[in-house]
Amino acid sequence: MSDFALSFDKASRLSAERAMAVSPLVWKLKRLFNIGSERELREALRVINMLAKEVINQRRKMGFSKHKDLLSRFMNNVDDETCLRDIVISFLLAGRDTVASALTSFFWLLAKHPQVELEILLEADKVIGANKELRSFEELGKLHYLQAAVYECMRLYPPVQFDSKFCVEDDVLPDGTKVKSGTRVTYHPYAMGRLEDLWGEDSMEFRPQRWLKGGVFHHENPFKYPVFQAGLRVCMGKEMALMEIKCVTLSLIRSFHFKLLPPVVNHATPRFSPGLTATFRFGLPVIVGDRKIEFSE
Ligand code: HEM
C-alpha cells in the first residue's frame, strides 16, 4: 500500500478512536504533549496534507481552467490553498472507504444468498442482454432488483454506522425533547436499519424484495433510512456511490464467481467493526473463479 493509503487508514482509525475515548481530556492531553496515538495522528496528517497539496500542484501544472473534473471546478472557484487541500481530503474520506465498505458487505451477502445473486444476473441479462455490456446510465436505472439489493445491503450494513452532531444553540426536537447547546446528538443507521418497529418482524433478514412494488424500486423516507443522512446535509456523492457499487458489482459477478473461504480460526464470521467508516475487521477472504467454470471442492 502507498504511504498515502497507510497514513489515511491510520488517521481515520485514530480519529474514530478519539470519538470513542472515555473522556476527550485523554486525547487532548496526549495532543498537548505530542505523545502516543496523538503523535502518530499528527505524523499521519502531515503525510496526508503533503500528498493532497501535491495533487493540487499537479493539477495546477496541467492547467485546470478549462477542465470540468471536480477538483478543477473547485480550483476555479476557491483561492484558499488550505481550503482546497481540505476539500481534496474530505472527498477522499467521504468517497473512498464508504464505497469499499458497501461493496465488501454486498459481496459477503451475495455469497451467502446465491438466489439474490442469480436474480441480479437474470435481470441484467434481460435488461442489458446476455454477453452484452452496460451501455448507459439510463440502462443502469432499469435494474430495479439490483438497486433494491444494494439498498437492502446498506440497511443491514451501513458504511457510516453512526454519525454525531453538536447542537449549536438550545433547540427542541419535533417530539418535544429539549436539546441544550453543546450537546452531542447521534443518529445510528446501523441500529435503525434493524428495528422491527421500522422494518417489520423480518428486519434482520436480507430481503431485497422489501424495496420493490410490482417489480419497481421505491424509495423509503430518508429519515427512516439515513444511510446517506437526510435533509440539507445529505451525502453529496450518493448517486455517484450507488452507480459505482452497481457497476462494479455487475461487471464482477457477470464474469466471476466469488466463494467465501472456509472459516479461519478467529475469523469465523466476518466482523463488521466500527470506525469512521465501518468495515469487516479481517477483510473478506474469497476464492475467485471464472463464472463459466464450476468450482470444484
Ligand atoms: C456508500 C457510499 C456512501 C455513504 C454510505 C455515504 C454516507 C454519507 C453520510 C452519512 C454523510 C453525512 C456525514 C455527516 O454529515 O457527518 C455523507 C456526507 C458526504 N458525502 Fe457521502 N457517502 C457515500 C459515498 C460518497 C461519495 C462516493 C462521495 C463523493 C465522492 C461522497 C461525498 C460526500 C460529501 C462531500 C459529504 C458532505 C456533505 C455535506 O456535509 O454537505 N459520499 N455521506
ipTM at complex level: 0.98
Percent of the chain with pLDDT over 70: 96
Q: Does domain 99-290 have CATH number 1.10.630.10?
A: yes
- Tell me how far apart the alpha carbons of residues 32 and 52 are, in angstroms, rounded to a whole number: 25
Assign 268 a pLDDT band (cuts: 50, 70, 90): low
270 pocket-lining for ligand 1 (C-beta < 6 Å): no
For the chain, give the longest Cα–Cα distance: 63
**SS3 assignment, position 143:** coil
Cα–ligand 1 centroid distance for 95 (angstroms): 7
pLDDT digits (tens, 9 = 90+) for 154-205: 999 999 999 989 999 999 998 999 999 999 999 999 999 999 999 999 999 9
242 pocket-lining for ligand 1 (C-beta < 6 Å): no
Mean pLDDT of 224-229: 97
**Rounded to the nearest 10 degrees, how much is the dihedral formed by the CA atoms of 227, 128, 256, 154?**
10
Mean pLDDT of 97-125: 95
Question: Which residues, in sequence order, are bridge partners of residue 273?
Answer: 279
Mean pLDDT of 83-106: 92
Cell of 188: 445510528
Which ligand 1 atom is nearest residue 159's CA?
Answer: 5
Sign of CA dihedral 249, 253, 256, 261: positive
71 pocket-lining for ligand 1 (C-beta < 6 Å): no
Cα–ligand 1 centroid distance for 267 (angstroms): 30
pLDDT of residue 295: 56
pLDDT of residue 294: 63
- Tell me how far apart the alpha carbons of residues 88 and 70 are, in angstroms, rounded to a whole number: 10
Phi, psi dihedral angles at 159 (to 5 degrees): -55, -35
Cα–ligand 1 centroid distance for 98 (angstroms): 8
Asked if 121 contacts 256 with a C-beta cutoff of 8 angstroms, the reply is: no
240 pocket-lining for ligand 1 (C-beta < 6 Å): yes
Which ligand 1 atom is nearest residue 229's CA?
Answer: 10
Which residue type occupies 263?
A: P
Choose one of 89, 163, 235, 238 to mutate for the ligand 1 pocket test, by most ligand atoms within 8 angstroms of C-beta: 235
pLDDT of residue 78: 93
Cα–ligand 1 centroid distance for 51 (angstroms): 22
- The better pLDDT of the pair 56, 264 is held by 56
Domain positions in the chain: 1-77, 99-290
Cell of 161: 454506522
102 pocket-lining for ligand 1 (C-beta < 6 Å): yes
Asked if 53 contacts 81 with a C-beta cutoff of 8 angstroms, the reply is: yes
Cell of 113: 444468498
Cα–ligand 1 centroid distance for 259 (angstroms): 30
163 pocket-lining for ligand 1 (C-beta < 6 Å): yes
Angle (CA) 157 224 114, round 5°: 35
**Nearest CA residue ID for atom 3, ligand 1:** 98
- Tell me how far apart the alpha carbons of residues 74 and 51 are, in angstroms, rounded to a whole number: 18
Cα–ligand 1 centroid distance for 248 (angstroms): 19
- Tell me how far apart the alpha carbons of residues 240 and 250 are, in angstroms, rounded to a whole number: 15
Rounded to a whole number of angstroms, the distance between the first and last alpha carbons of the chain is 32
Assign 264 a pLDDT band (cuts: 50, 70, 90): low
Which ligand 1 atom is nearest residue 241's CA?
Answer: 27
Cα–ligand 1 centroid distance for 175 (angstroms): 27
Angle (CA) 154 157 159, round 5°: 80
Mean pLDDT for all residues in the chain: 91
Query: Which burial class, exposed, middle or buried, applies to 204 when counting CB atoms under 10 A from its CB (0-12, 13-18, 19+)?
Result: exposed
Cα–ligand 1 centroid distance for 130 (angstroms): 34
